[in-house]
């Protein structure tokens, strides 16, 4: 591999990573400043409140953004390329929380979200075979 092709490939990886970081920053800016103050952000959206977004980084390098508002649950799957993006929205009633675990039926798929640790410092999300952490 030539020096030029290495530079082009590393630039391509940088652009993809920069895109994922930009999406994560935008999502963080849209969430309320105290979204995780009580460790129950996915369970406590009051009617009429803004959507609280959470960014999960997956083992394959992709990201999953989740959001829960007064009437809907949104899952935004972000791949390494813009065309790999998919947004799914379901009614809030499909999101069930029990003992710190959230399960959401999205079509034939189930999304599982679990808090790890006593104060919910880490969260693990699994969806469509992906394992992601926040």
- pLDDT (tens digit per residue) in 3-35: 554 544 555 544 455 444 444 434 444 433 333
Average pLDDT value over all residues in the chain: 73
Q: Structural domain boundaries of the chain? A: 3-133
Question: What is this structure's pTM?
Answer: 0.60
CB atoms within 10 A of CB 49: 12
CA distances from 26 to 54, 65, 88, 113 (A): 11, 11, 18, 22
């Amino acid at each position: 591999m030539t020096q030029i092709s290495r530079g082009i490939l590393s630039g391509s990886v940088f652009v993809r990573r920069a895109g994922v970081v930009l999406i994560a920053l935008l999502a963080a800016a849209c969430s309320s400043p105290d979204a995780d103050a009580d460790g129950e952000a996915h369970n406590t959206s009051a009617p009429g409140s803004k959507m609280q977004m959470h960014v999960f980084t997956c083992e394959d390098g992709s990201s999953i953004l989740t959001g829960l508002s007064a009437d809907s649950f949104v899952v935004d799957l972000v791949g390494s390329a813009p065309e790999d993006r998919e947004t799914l929205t379901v009614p809030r009633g499909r999101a069930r929380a029990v003992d710190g675990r959230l399960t959401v039926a999205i079509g034939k798929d189930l999304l599982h979200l679990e808090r790890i640790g006593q104060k919910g410092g880490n969260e693990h999300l699994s969806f469509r075979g992906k394992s992601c952490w926040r």
